[in-house]
A and B are shown apart, each in its own frame.
Chain A
Amino acid sequence: MSVLVAGASLAGLSAAETLRKSGYESEIVVVDRSTTLPVDRPPLSKQILSGEWALERAVSHSHGKLDNWGLDLRLGSAASRLELDPLRVTLEDGSVLEPEGVVIATGSRPRHISDSASRLQGVHVLRDLAHTTALRSDLESSSGPVAVVGAGFIGAEVAATCRSLGHEVTMIEAAATPLVRVLPAPIGQYIAGLHRESGVDVRLGVGVADIVAGPDGHVRGVAMADGSMIEATIVVVGIGVQPNVEWLEGSGLDIANGVTCDARCVASPRVVAAGDVASWHNPRYDRRMRVEQWEHAIGQGEHAAVVLLSEMGFAGSGEVGAFDSVPWFWSDQYDRKIQMAGIPDASDEMVVVEGSIEEGRFAVLFRRGERCSAVLGVNRPRHVMQARMRLEQSLDWDGVISLFD
Chain B
Amino acid sequence: MKIIVDYDLCESNAICMGIAPEVFEVRDDDLLYILQENPPEELRERCEEAARRCPKQAITVED
Known A-B contacts A42-B55, A294-B55, A298-B53; A382 and B13 likewise in contact (beta carbons under 8 Å): no
- Chain A residue with minimal CB distance to B54? A295
- CA A299 to CA B55, docked complex, whole Å: 13
Judge whether B26 and A381 touch: CB under 8 Å.
yes
- Chain B residue with minimal CB distance to A377? B14
- Taken residue by residue from 1 to 39, chain B's Cβ proximity to chain A (1 for < 8 Å, 0 otherwise) reads as 000000000011111011001000011101000000000
Which listed residue, A42, A295, A337, A382, touches B53 by the CB 8 Å rule?
Answer: A295
The 8 listed contacts between A and B (C-beta, < 8 Å) are A295-B15, A295-B55, A299-B53, A381-B14, A382-B26, A382-B28, A384-B14, A385-B18
Q: Please tell me if A108 contacts chain B, counting CB pairs below 8 Å.
A: no
Residues of A within 8 A of B13 (CB): 330, 337, 339, 381
Which listed residue, A332, A380, A385, touches B15 by the CB 8 Å rule?
Answer: A385
Interface residues of B (CB under 8 A from A): 11-15, 17-18, 21, 26-28, 30, 52-53, 55, 57
Q: Please tell me if A288 contacts chain B, counting CB pairs below 8 Å.
A: no
Known A-B contacts A42-B55, A298-B53; A328 and B17 likewise in contact (beta carbons under 8 Å): no
Judge whether B11 and A337 touch: CB under 8 Å.
yes
Interface size range on A against B? 20 to 34
Residues of B within 8 A of A339 (CB): 13
Judge whether A381 and B18 touch: CB under 8 Å.
no
* Shortest Cβ distance from residue B50 to the other chain A in the assembled complex, whole angstroms: 12
- Taken residue by residue from 10 to 46, chain A's Cβ proximity to chain B (1 for < 8 Å, 0 otherwise) reads as 0000000000000000000000000000001010000
- Chain B residue with minimal CB distance to A62? B57
- Chain B residue with minimal CB distance to A65? B52
Residues of A within 8 A of B15 (CB): 295, 328, 385
- Taken residue by residue from 262 to 296, chain A's Cβ proximity to chain B (1 for < 8 Å, 0 otherwise) reads as 00000000000000000000000000000000110
Known A-B contacts A330-B13, A339-B13, A379-B30; A298 and B52 likewise in contact (beta carbons under 8 Å): yes
* Shortest Cβ distance from residue B12 to the other chain A in the assembled complex, whole angstroms: 5
Q: Please tell me if A61 contacts chain B, counting CB pairs below 8 Å.
A: yes
Judge whether A385 and B17 touch: CB under 8 Å.
yes
Known: A382-B17, A389-B18, A389-B21. 15 other contacts (CB 8 A): A40-B57, A61-B57, A294-B55, A298-B52, A328-B15, A339-B13, A379-B30, A380-B30, A381-B13, A381-B30, A382-B12, A382-B14, A382-B26, A382-B28, A384-B14
